[in-house]
Copies of this chain bind each other. A is one copy, B any other.
Amino acid sequence: MADLERQPHSPAPDSPGEPSAELAEAAARLRVLTGALMRRLRAAGEGSGVTLSQASVLSRLDRDGPATTVALARAERVRPQSMGATLAALEETGLVERSPHPSDRRQAIMSLTGEGRRQLADVRRTREGWIARALAERLDERERAVVVEALGLLSRLTEED
């Protein structure tokens, strides 16, 4: 793997409107990191009974309380159709339940069941557990603070339209 001939990098374009080479490099690293994290998260939850997007919805219902399909889709930044599919799977396995909206009969309020809460505790142990453990064991206090601040900054960047 290391004995292959090297090719030079493409020359940095750096024309007026372009971002600096350092920022382009940071962007590329963020792209790679995102893919790696995604695969780690998926792998960490294998055989747990809930998929990654299902786990995300359970987590949100616990944090923010019962909500409609469209509200959940907006919160998770997916299409209502995608959220509908995720919720249908959760409902079928009894982790969430729907109740009618008091005044608007188009809407249905989705909420966690007791079993959903139990599964969520499991998700937190297994899927998010490796991240929490890695943060605890492999970073020092200052590094953890850096990561936590970066989470806030990057979330801000993804949340604007």
Interface residue tally for chain A (C-beta within 8 Å): 81
Tell yes or no: A105 within 8 A of B by CB. no
**Which one, B9, B19, B78, contacts A129 given CB within 8 A?**
B19
Contacts A31-B56, A41-B34, A121-B13 given; indicate if A147 touches B148 (C-beta within 8 A). no
Chain B residues positioned under 8 Å from A135 (CB to CB)? 19, 23, 26-27, 157
The digit string for A120-161, where 1 denotes a CB below 8 A from any CB of B, is: 110011011101111110110001101111110111111110
Copies of this protein chain in the complex: 2
Q: Name the distance in Å between A31's Cβ and chain B's nearest Cβ.
A: 6
Give the contacting residue for A31; candidates B19, B66, B131, B136; CB below 8 A.
B131
Interface membership of chain A positions 98-136, coded 1 if the CB is closer than 8 angstroms to chain B and 0 otherwise: 000000000001011000010011001101110111111
